[in-house]
Structure formats: C-alpha cells, structure tokens
Structure 1
Amino acid sequence: MQNTGYLYLILPQLRKIYGDGTPELKQAMKTHVQFFNTSNFFNTIITGIDLALEEKQGSESLDAVAGLKAGLLGPFAAIGDSLFAALVPTIFGAIAANMAISGNPTGLFIWILANIFIMIFRWKQLKFAYKEGVNLVTTMQNQMNALTDAATLLGVFMVGALIATMINVHIGWKPMIGKVPLDIQNTIDMMMPKLLPAAIVGIIYWMLGKKNMTSTRAIFIVLIVSVALSALGVIAQ
C-alpha cells in the first residue's frame, strides 16, 4: 500500500537521525515498511509526528511510532477522504461546472485555487505536526469524532443539493384524458419538486448494492435507459 512510499518520503531524514547504513537505520526501515494506508491529504500529520518522535528518542521510539501510525491511519483516512476527496471536490467542482455550463471561465480558476489551497494545507500541516509532536494526538483526540460526523453530514447535504441542481430530467410524456393532456411532471412538482432526480439517484444507489453490480455497469445502464426513454418521448431534459 503506502508503506514503501512513506519510507521513501522520510528516508533522507532517517539517515540524518540514525546515520547511513547503521543497524538502527535498518531497524527503522523495517518498522516503516509495515502496513500503512491512510488519506493522502492527512498523511503529512502522521509524518510530522513520527519525525518529531524519532528525532527526540531515536530507535527507542520505533514501537511507539508503529503504534501511532496504526492508530491514526484509520481515523485520518475517514476524515481526509470525507473532506478532501469527497466534500471539497464536490463543492468546488459543482461551482466550476455550473460556471462552465453558463460559459463563465472563472470556474476553472476556482478549481485550480482549491487544489493549490489543498497543497499548501498539506505542507503547513507537516510543519505544524512536526512542531507539536505527539501532543497533537492528545489535542485532536476529542475533536476527531466530531469532525468526522460534521464532514459526513455536510457531504450528504451537498450530495442532496447536487441532485436537485445538476440532474435535469423531466417527464415529457403527456397522456391525453379525453381532449385534455395530463402534465405528469407538473403534477409531480406540485407534490414534491425534484422528485424524479431523487428517485433516479435512489434507484442507482439500490443497484450499486446488488451483487456483481459496479459503478461502470450502472453508468452504462443509465445511459442506455436514458437514451431509450428519451427516444420514446417518456423523459426530456
């Protein structure tokens, strides 16, 4: 997973701490090739704390470092992926996409600035974690669960907003009742606006929970069904 990349990242510093080719360096390298997999956006916090510990205590800290990495990789994976792999791209991607649809190029620069901010954040958190060391774990422990819950809730909220704004599907079929056409879409909107996009997302979510169903297959199914229903005049944009 990320263990060899993590070792490659800190190896120059390990050589400064333990010396090149020493038994302590080999021991540290063996410690750092153990399983490690976390969010790419928060891994620098673990790196900073790790280096602070090893600089202070040397090889005596390796057991603590291994435990620290094992204990933090899970929570940081959840928080980092929720915030920076899902929430931030969803928000800024939606803003950029809406601007692009309307012909406004500003959305492109918003997307670029968002990614620049993330890169700066990763660099700053490395320096901050290195400075604070293991005390940072104690400080963040009580806030971690609350941050995860808040990020999850905000992510769900944004997904709901995107469903209502980005999925533009309407029922185009208007059956005749006598000589009067029945506007099914207008009737649905009177009961609950954007019910059809929500229903489509719900069906796709249900499909993805089925065995052997993948996101790629779901996309092809949606494309085929959409083209067929559009050709028949059942749905319209």
Structure 2
Amino acid sequence: MAKSNQLTKEEKKLLRQMYWRSFTLYAAVTPAKQGASGVSYSMQPFLNTFYDDKESKRQAMKRQMGYFNTNIAFLPFLLGVTASMEKENAQRENFNEESISAVKASLMGPLAGIGDSLFWGVLRVIAASIALTLANAGNILAPIVFLLFFNVPVQFIRWYGGKIGYTLGNQYVSDLYESGMINVLTRAASIVGLVMVGAMTSDMVEFTLDWNMVVDGETVLESQEMLDQIFVGLIPLAVTLFCFWLLKKKGVSVNWLIVGVIVASILCAAAGIA
C-alpha cells in the first residue's frame, strides 16, 4: 500500500478539504438521494483538479449524485477510494466509468453495517456507560468525557481513512486496470450493489394486504398469508419494480413517484385494502 508521505502537496490539500467537507454528508437529505449532495460537495475539489473540460466534469458530478448512504466514520475512506478512481478515469482514455459508481455502491452497504455496529452499537455504549458512572458521582466532566471518548476514535478513523482509501485506490485500481481485472471488479461490484438494493427493498418497502375473503362474517382466506406462501414480499417487490419502470422507461420524476406512492397509500388505507 502506498504511504501517506508519497502523496503530493496538492493531494494532501485535497484530502484535507474532503475531510472537512465530508461533515456535510447528511446536511441535505432527500428520500431519493440520501447523502448524495454531501458526497458531491466533498468530492468537488478532486473533480475540479482532475477534470479540465466541462463535459467530463459534468459527468463526474452526475456520478457523484447517485444514491448514497453509509456510516459517517467510514465515509472519508470510501470517498478516498472514489477520488482515486476519478483520478484514474481522468488520466486513462478507455477507463470504465461504470466501475466508479459500482465500487462505491458495493462498499457503502458493508461499511455502513460495520460502522453502525462498531461505533453506534459498541463505542457509544461504552462511552455512555463511563460518562454515566461519572455523572452518578456528580462529576461535571461526564458529558465532556462522553463526547471525547466517542468522537476522538471516530475522527481519527475519518482523518486517516481518507488517506488510506486514496493511496490504496491509487495503487490497486491502477494494477487492476493494467491486468484487465477492472471489468471483473465492476461486474462483481454491480452484483453486490444489486444485492444490497434487493435487501433494502425487502427491509424498507412495507405493504400488508388486509383485503381478505369473508363468508358469512367469517374470514376464510387471509390474502397476505396466501401471498407469503407464494413469495414473501411479493407486493413490495412489485411496487418497487413498477416505480423503477416508471422512473427509467417513462421518465417520471422522483418527486412525482413519491407523491404517487403517498396518495396510493392513503387511498389503500381508506379503502381497507392495506
């Protein structure tokens, strides 16, 4: 792995800008993009440096506005990897641009799971237990101890994670490109990304059918139970695929899809369907 002292002065400056800008990840969250605007803002110094012509920069900015959601502690590492790939794309004429979004999408899910478990599930609990012990003893430093115990490790990982991600990406992305394995990586990353999207669909899209078959006042067939026997999550999957079809094939905007889903949900609830 390349060491941080091998970075140029300009690259170190860009990494510092990325670190401070990355605090804005969830400053402007939307249901369709989550932290995409924060990612785009954090990556802007790199894009301004790597791309000279407006069209290439525009395409890069568009790539960085894709859906993004991960743990804030590992964000700089992922941004560093992404920046190294953008640099490679700017320098190589036939670089596979799809690999940038694919790798980013495939990493954000696992890093979110690890980060949430490690920092929110473990470190925060330990910090809170220490602070509560001090608070019960009447120590006024309890909240300060909690903030320091939690934030110092997080910021340490954030600061060095960006450098590691960038230097790691610089070396291995170049090697993958030279060996022709970049296409294999892109394919694998795309598959992982699709798996993550599928998991998110199953976990986040909910629809319970309450429209049952009733005979003489007695329920003889529960529709939701019957559907679950055929395919668990069949209706949420169908709704998701229908929205995707409207978005990609019919050009319906995300805002209209959100409004449509809200209206349909209200109508289904009012009619007793779901």
What TM-score, normalized by structure 2, do the two folds share? 0.51
1:186 partnered with 2:206: no
CA positional deviation for 1:175 = 3.3
Partner of 2:181: 143
CA positional deviation for 1:167 = 2.0
Letter of the structure 1 residue corresponding to residue 207 of structure 2: V
- Aligned partner (choices 131, 135, 153) of residue 191 of structure 2: 153
Partner of 2:206: 168
CA positional deviation for 1:117 = 6.0
- 1:234 aligned counterpart, secondary structure: coil
- 1:42 aligned counterpart, secondary structure: helix
- 2:94 aligned counterpart, secondary structure: helix
How many residue pairs are counted as aligned between the two chains? Answer: 181
1:87 partnered with 2:106: yes
5+ residue gaps, structure 2, are: 1-9, 14-49, 65-78, 125-150
CA positional deviation for 1:200 = 1.1
CA deviation vs aligned residue, 1:89-114 (integer Å, no higher than 9, x gap): 445557889x9xxxx953997xx999
Letter of the structure 2 residue corresponding to residue 137 of structure 1: S
Partner of 1:34: 53
CA deviation vs aligned residue, 1:45-102 (integer Å, no higher than 9, x gap): 565x7xxxxxxxxxxxxxxx97x34333xx2x42232232x334445557889x9xxx
- 1:170 aligned counterpart, secondary structure: coil
CA deviation vs aligned residue, 1:89-143 (integer Å, no higher than 9, x gap): 445557889x9xxxx953997xx9999867645423544577x6xx973553322
Percent same amino acid among aligned pairs? 18
- Aligned partner (choices 205, 211, 215) of residue 177 of structure 1: 215
Aligned partners of 1:46 and 1:69 also within 8 Å? no
1:215 partnered with 2:238: no
Deviates more, 1:144-153 or 1:120-129: 120-129
Letter of the structure 2 residue corresponding to residue 34 of structure 1: D
Partner of 2:94: 71
Q: Measured at CA, do residues 122 and 191 of structure 1 come closer, stay the same or move farther in structure 2, by a change above 3 Å?
A: same
Aligned partners of 2:173 and 2:182 also within 8 Å? no
1:43 partnered with 2:83: yes
Measure, in 1, the Cα distance between the counterparts of 2:251 and 2:86: 36
- 1:169 aligned counterpart, secondary structure: coil
- 1:70 aligned counterpart, secondary structure: coil
Q: Measured at CA, do residues 155 and 222 of structure 1 come closer, stay the same or move farther in structure 2, by a change above 3 Å?
A: same
Aligned partners of 1:44 and 1:123 also within 8 Å? no
CA positional deviation for 1:218 = 0.7
Aligned partners of 2:86 and 2:100 also within 8 Å? no
Aligned partners of 1:96 and 1:107 also within 8 Å? no
Q: Measured at CA, do residues 146 and 218 of structure 1 come closer, stay the same or move farther in structure 2, by a change above 3 Å?
A: same
Partner of 1:201: 240
Measure, in 2, the Cα distance between the counterparts of 1:115 and 1:204: 39
What TM-score, normalized by structure 1, do the two folds share? 0.58
Partner of 1:55: none
